[in-house]
């Protein structure tokens, strides 16, 4: 008996930062930084709140992926002004498991792990 697996390699966590010459380290709350907070509650059943901040105007994309890297939801895909934002992710209809919330701007990408627990 032969086992066959269809494996897909995905990039789960990503952070792109180019340091100006002569400087090192990651940006803290710099002009171009974005911040993706951990969703709350987590683990969750039904819905969860995702908060993020952008410090410069630009196109922002907030997506949710399953553990295999398949996109399951696009929550934000628009140009945003600097500020703090939050969105509610309704996961009803999705099976319990591990998911990833990915926030992308033109310069940065941040990812957080979310867990959908069994139904109430």
Task: Compute the mean pLDDT over every residue in the chain, rounded to the nearest whole number.
Answer: 81
Determine what percent of the chain is predicted with pLDDT higher than 70. 72
What are the CA-CA distances from residue 112 to residues 2, 19, 98 (Å)? 36, 23, 11
Q: What is the mean pLDDT of residues 71-77?
A: 97
Q: Assess contact for 19 and 25: CB atoms under 8 A.
A: yes
Residue 4: pLDDT band with limits 50, 70, 90: low
Q: Which CATH number fits domain 34-116: 1.20.1250.20, 2.60.40.1930, 3.20.20.140, 3.30.70.2860?
A: 2.60.40.1930
Residue 120: pLDDT band with limits 50, 70, 90: low
d(CA 71, CA 23): 36
Residue 119: pLDDT band with limits 50, 70, 90: low
pTM across the whole model: 0.72
What are 10-64's pLDDT values in tens digits? Answer: 444 444 444 444 444 444 445 558 999 999 999 999 999 999 999 989 999 999 9
């Amino acid at each position: 008996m032969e086992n066959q697996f269809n494996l897909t390699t995905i990039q789960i966590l990503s952070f792109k930062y180019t340091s100006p010459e002569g400087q090192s380290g990651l940006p803290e709350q710099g002009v171009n930084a974005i911040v993706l907070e951990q969703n709350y509650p987590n683990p969750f059943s039904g819905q969860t709140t995702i908060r993020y901040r952008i410090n410069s105007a630009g196109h922002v994309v907030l997506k949710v992926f399953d553990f295999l890297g398949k996109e399951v939801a696009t929550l934000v895909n628009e140009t945003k002004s600097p500020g703090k934002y939050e969105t509610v992710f309704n996961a009803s209809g999705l099976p319990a498991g591990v998911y990833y919330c990915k926030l992308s701007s033109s310069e940065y990408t941040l990812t957080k792990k979310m867990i959908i627990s069994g139904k109430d």
